[in-house]
């Protein structure tokens, strides 16, 4: 298989990032095309590109939403009009972070990862009294031998469900 090099202007000042948008579009559509028939909804992680333009391309190709790693990334993508965001890295929602999460969730409801009951309680306190419930996904790192623990239902108003057998987000 021969890989065709994209055109690079001779006067391009290097180093520079060059993105072939046709290849990006084809890759996005191919991935969604492989996952959709299996009932798997794609939510790519935006940490690799941190680009509103590329995020929009992923969504236009059929991605359900985006995964972000920080509250700051979620704020930027929400401000750019991306409305389906999963904040995968658990945050300890106290002080300024709690206020930022609350303000973000009031504008654009987000889904937040949580890795402890105490973390879930902090999230619940941060969004207490809002009209829109905070969706939370319990994260369990497969690399660490964590004992299975029983989560109380609900945790200060956060509804829980067992997703321990789910390996992918399904419709």
> Average pLDDT of the chain?
84
Q: What pLDDT score was predicted for residue 140?
A: 72
Q: What pLDDT score was predicted for residue 165?
A: 44
Residue 19 has pLDDT above 90, yes or no: no
Total number of domains constituting the chain: 1
Domain membership flag for residue 27: no
Domain membership flag for residue 109: yes
Radius of gyration of the chain from its Cα atoms, rounded to whole angstroms: 19
Domain membership flag for residue 13: no
CA distance linking residue 120 with residue 33, whole number of Å: 35
The residue range of the domain holding 108 is 43-163
- Provide mean pLDDT across the span 42-62: 94
Q: Is 98 left (phi over 0), alpha (psi -120 to 50) or beta?
A: alpha
Q: Which residue has the higher pLDDT, 55 or 146?
A: 55
- Provide mean pLDDT across the span 160-165: 48
Domain membership flag for residue 98: yes
In this prediction the pTM is 0.77
Confidence category of residue 144, pLDDT binned at 50, 70, 90: low
Domain membership flag for residue 31: no
Confidence category of residue 14, pLDDT binned at 50, 70, 90: confident
pLDDT in tens, 66-91: 999 999 999 999 999 999 999 998 89
Domain membership flag for residue 105: yes
For residue 116, give Cα distances in angstroms to 99, 104, 133, 160: 20, 22, 19, 12
Q: What is the CATH number of the domain that holds 93?
A: 3.20.20.10
């Amino acid at each position: 298989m021969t890989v065709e090099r994209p055109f690079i202007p001779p006067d391009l000042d290097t180093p520079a990032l060059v993105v072939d948008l046709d290849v990006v579009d084809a890759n996005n559509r191919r991935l969604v095309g492989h996952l959709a028939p299996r009932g798997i909804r794609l939510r790519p992680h935006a940490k690799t590109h941190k680009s509103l333009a590329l995020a929009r391309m992923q969504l236009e190709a059929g991605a359900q939403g985006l995964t972000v790693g920080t509250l700051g990334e979620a704020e930027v993508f929400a401000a750019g009009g991306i409305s389906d965001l999963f904040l995968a890295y658990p945050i300890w929602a106290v002080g300024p972070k709690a206020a930022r999460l609350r303000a973000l969730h009031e504008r654009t409801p987000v889904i937040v990862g949580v890795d402890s009951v105490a973390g879930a309680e902090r999230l619940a306190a941060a969004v207490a009294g809002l009209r829109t419930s905070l969706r939370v996904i319990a994260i369990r790192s497969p690399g660490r031998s964590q004992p299975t623990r029983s989560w109380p239902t609900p945790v200060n108003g956060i509804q829980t469900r067992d997703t321990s057998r789910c390996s992918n987000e399904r419709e």
